[in-house]
Structure 1
Amino acid sequence: HSDRGSQYASDEYQALLRHHHVVCSMSRKGNCWDNSVMERFFLNLKMERVWQRRYANHDEARRDINQYIVGFYNAVRLHSTLGYLSPTAYEAKPTVKEPISLSEIT
């Protein structure tokens, strides 16, 4: 997901995405909040993991980052927007269905 910066909207960049079968996701015009969730994720990833490590190669980085996302970020790390639950715990939480209200107007 990206903003509408000229580098992301350029024909060359868009052609590269299509070549690799990547679907582009961009923020709506004038709405900077569309990208905030992903920006926060990548900031957390960098601060909590990547900047704390020195990777020998791309494969090591890929394995470590995958372990961080699957083993910690989704399974353990508490997220304030999810009521201080991990995403895994939030997804497993049973949903409460509100009873259907009938209108008193007949």
Structure 2
Amino acid sequence: MGSVGDSYDNALTENLWMLIKTEGVRGHVFATRAEANLALFEYINGFYNSRRIQERLGFLSPIEFEEKHYANQATAEQVNHSAGAVGDQIHAAAGEDLEVGDGLVDGA
């Protein structure tokens, strides 16, 4: 933040208000203050925080980032389960007995 009177004093706040006005409420007429509050809440919590792309997330929205994360996690789990099954087959081919407590069998 800058000092009082310089151009950086309220730059972030002014930018946020500009976005709220242009993307969130411009063109709407609200009958009550409660209606306006609800519209602001829905914009900030429903769009701005969850769907707006963010540079720190690789230009993805938080929702897209989470979907990608969980998809990658599911793929990694499938690979780990497949590798475990191959390891079980190798041990079985070598004539080794497998027990549930060995940590080699998934328990399924």
TM-score (norm: length of structure 1): 0.49
Higher RCO, 1 vs 2 (CA within 8 Å, ≥6 residues apart): 1
Structure with the higher helix share, 1 or 2: 2
Q: Which has the larger radius of gyration?
A: 2
TM-score by length of 2: 0.48
